[in-house]
């Protein structure tokens, strides 16, 4: 997978280079699930979103991180990303 380096041509030196990224989000996978039963509740309708993040550190090593959110938490998560997108586009 190609690293999404940002190539910038410096106006003064004419060199191309890429700013180093800190830990970079390489992949984002998600799943919407519904818990139907558990050892504490025989009958459930519990929706949740699980997410898998793949993060590459500067050396290139990729680590996985998984976590879960309730639907309200996911909606907040989504709202935050929408704000980030809005800010990045206008900056």
* Contact footprint for other proteins (CB under 8 A): 4, 6, 8, 10-13, 15, 17-25, 28, 30, 32, 34-35, 38-51, 53, 55, 65-69, 71-78, 80-82, 84-85, 87-88, 91
Considering beta carbons, is residue 10 or 61 the nearer one to other proteins? 10
Q: What is the Cα–Cα distance from 75 to 49, expressed in whole angstroms?
A: 10
What residues have CB less than 8 Å from 28, skipping those under 6 apart? 51, 52, 53, 54
Distance of closest approach, residue 61 Cβ to other proteins, in angstroms: 14
């Amino acid at each position: 997978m190609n690293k999404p380096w940002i190539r910038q041509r410096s106006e003064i030196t004419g060199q191309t280079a890429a700013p180093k990224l800190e830990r970079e989000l390489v992949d984002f996978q998600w799943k919407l699930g519904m818990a139907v039963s558990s050892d504490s509740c025989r009958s459930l309708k519990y929706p949740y979103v699980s997410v898998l993040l793949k993060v590459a550190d500067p050396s290139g090593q990729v680590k996985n991180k998984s976590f879960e959110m309730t639907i309200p938490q996911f909606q907040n998560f989504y709202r935050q990303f929408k704000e980030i997108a809005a800010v990045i586009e206008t900056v």
